[in-house]
Amino acid sequence: MKSSFVVPTDLDPVQRHPKAAKAGERMRAHNPMCYGCGQESVEGLRLQMFAGEDFEVTAAMDVPARFEGGPGVIHGGVLSTAFDDVMGMVPLLIGPAAVTAHLEVDYQRPIPIGSRLHFTATLLGRQRRKVYAEAVAHLGDPDQPVATAHAILVTINAREHFADHLSNSAMADEYKARMSRP
């Protein structure tokens, strides 16, 4: 797959965070209302995320009729949403929460409605607050990718980053309670 994505050569050392999910363990949604992975998001993608070995996250989702773009196939924006969210989990393997600053997607094959889509996202490196990630999607055979993506995520202090927006959340009361805890 062609990509203009360039990972710097002078990367910082990284190690898996001791409290990160173990390989094979389900990773908790960063927010139960998340459109990508939140299981409380009625309209969302309901991605199921798992920690992989080393610096990998795997995920899967069904492609129901409501995700249609072209006739009988997934909408490209839905696929990029999924990539965004799966790669958004990668920084949690090394510790900090991060948000996507840059995302690029290469669409390789049409993805049929009714299929089950699998993802593997991998940390490529970290430089200061920037976390470089790539992800591959397939329909069951990892040797037959249907799409790939690259992202730069930037680590944040989640409390500060979301402070002004928590009241917009469907879980505003829960977040308000959390914010008042030390």
Ligand X SMILES: CCCCCCCC/C=C\CCCCCCCC(=O)SCCNC(=O)CCNC(=O)[C@H](O)C(C)(C)COP(=O)(O)OP(=O)(O)OC[C@H]1O[C@@H](n2cnc3c(N)ncnc32)[C@H](O)[C@@H]1OP(=O)(O)O
Catalog residues that contact ligand X under the rule CB under 6 A. 30-31, 84-85, 88, 97, 99-102, 128-130, 152, 154, 156, 158-159, 162, 175, 178-179
Nearer to ligand X, 72 or 101 (CB): 101
The minimum distance between CB 17 and ligand X, in angstroms, equals 14
Scored b (16 or more CB within 10 A) or e, 21-51 reads beeeeebebbbebbebbbeebeebbbbebbb
Find the shortest distance in angstroms from Cβ 158 to ligand X.
4
CB of 128 to ligand X, least distance (A): 4
Least separation in angstroms between CB 165 and ligand X: 9
Between residues 113 and 150, which has the closer beta carbon with respect to ligand X? 150
CB nearer to ligand X: pick between 1 and 101: 101
Whichever of 26 and 109 has its CB closer to ligand X, that residue is: 26
3-class SS letters over the chain: CCCCCCCCCCCECCCCCCCCCCCCCECCCCCCCCCCCCCCCCCCCCCEEEECCCCEEEEEEECCHHHECCCCEECHHHHHHHHHHHHHHCHHHHCCCEEEEEEEEEECCCCECCCEEEEEEEEEEEECCEEEEEEEEECCCCCCEEEEEEEEEEECCHHHHHCCCHHHCCCHHHHHHHHHCC
Q: Whole-number minimum distance, CB 144 to ligand X, in Å?
A: 26
Residue nearest to ligand X (CB): 88
CB of 31 or CB of 148, closer to ligand X: 31
